[in-house]
Amino acid sequence: MEEEARKLLAEGIKKKLTSPGKGDLSTFPNGTKVVFHYRTSLCEGTVLDDSRTMGGRSKPMELILGKKFKLAVWERLVITMREGEVAEFTCDTKHTALYPLVSQSLRNISVGKDPLEGQRHCCGIAQIHSHHSLGHKDLDHLQANPQPLVFTIELLEVLPPGSFQLDVWAMTDEEKLSFVPQIHEEGNKLFKEGHISEARDKYYNGIACLKNLQIKEQPGDESWLKLDRMITTLLLNYCQCLLLEGQYYEVIEHCSSLLFKYENNVKALYKRAKAHAAVWNETEARADFAKLLELDPSLGPSVAKELKTMEERIRSKQKEEKGRYKDLFNYNTPPATATTG
């Protein structure tokens, strides 16, 4: 243990054992999956991230060793630990420069966003020097002022290679590309069985997987366009789930982004029209339905049904509001009479 501590110190890492683990130290061959909780702090004590509370839930970090995770120092730290061990590692700036980008991705994931949202089409080092905002003041400050960080880690589980199914993020590009049709099919099956939220999660994972591949391509190139077409299909399925879950504004946002690129996409237009109708955007809904009929006249019966439903909802709402205002301004009610005791 003392020998390992000396090695770490020579590398700019100071380890402080908080609670010893159990059993023997694993050999940690490449492909090993490690599951751990982490808390990241500035040296003066300010906490930046905590996996037990991030996004309002407790979700441990999972790493596959040897997959070149952007924050390489985490791999270096966990291979010095036993299962159940808790330790505090103070790491020099050379190990923490990329932490703001890693933290941004982890924060995105914790709230259900694309882990790459807000990151430009360039490598991590280029992003560090690009001076654009990461969307979090503390991370912007850390990016502008690189400094040592303290990682408090609790190693929960060590799984040897072959004993678990790879998560999407841990796959190679080739594995991701071949996995997407499988996850798409699983989503479709869940949707047909009525498991809408589970299907939505499958589609979301497929989209995130493809976006991870797309960001490595030059926008407009054939490979980029091919991936974008695949993303579009999954995003439309994702929006169908959101429609059924009543997430209408998110549907409008996603479909509008699709229509900005593919203005004659009938499915995107139809879903956006339904979402507009659901949130009382009558003018926008009618405009989308009118364009739908121009693009595909065969949708006439479906559009007529949707318009009839919207109009009935509007009449019902107007009638309800009229009754409410009538009661509010009903001057025919006789005034109260004052009495004396």
Domain 173-318: CATH architecture, name and number where available: Alpha Horseshoe (1.25)
Integer CA distances (angstroms), 317 to 280, 286, 311, 314, in order:
10, 18, 10, 5
Contact 153, 79 (CB under 8 A): no
| Local confidence band at 340 (pLDDT 50, 70, 90 cut-offs) | very low
Q: What is the pTM of this model?
A: 0.57
pLDDT for 115: 53
Whether the per-residue pLDDT at 330 is higher than 90: the answer is: no
* Gyration radius from the chain CA atoms: 27
Q: How confident is the model at residue 265 (pLDDT cuts 50, 70, 90)?
A: very high
For the chain, the average pLDDT equals 88
Q: Is the pLDDT of residue 120 over 60?
A: no
Question: Who wins on pLDDT, 202 or 333?
Answer: 202
Q: What percent of the chain has pLDDT over 90?
A: 67
Four-way CATH pick for 1-116+136-159: 3.10.50.40, 2.60.40.10, 3.40.50.2020, 3.40.50.1820 = 3.10.50.40
Chain centre to alpha carbon of residue 193: 25
Is-contact 126 73, C-beta < 8 A?
Answer: no
Q: How far is CA 136 from CA 39, 49, 132, 173, in A?
A: 17, 12, 11, 29
The CB-based long-range contact list for 254-261 (8 Å cut-off, 24+ gap) reads 258/232, 261/228
Which residue type, as a one-letter code, is found at position 247?
Q
Domain positions in the chain are 1-116+136-159, 173-318
pLDDT tens-digit readout, 63-103: 989 888 889 999 999 999 999 999 999 999 999 999 999 99
Is 128 a residue whose pLDDT tops 90?
Answer: no
User: Nearest Cα to 211, choosing from 190, 184, 234?
Assistant: 234
Closest CA to 85 of 28, 163, 25: 25
Residue 116 clears pLDDT 90, i.e. is over it: no
Residue 329: pLDDT band with limits 50, 70, 90: low
Does pLDDT of 124 surpass 70?
A: no
What is the rounded average pLDDT of the residues 310-315? 91
For residues 292-303, average pLDDT: 95
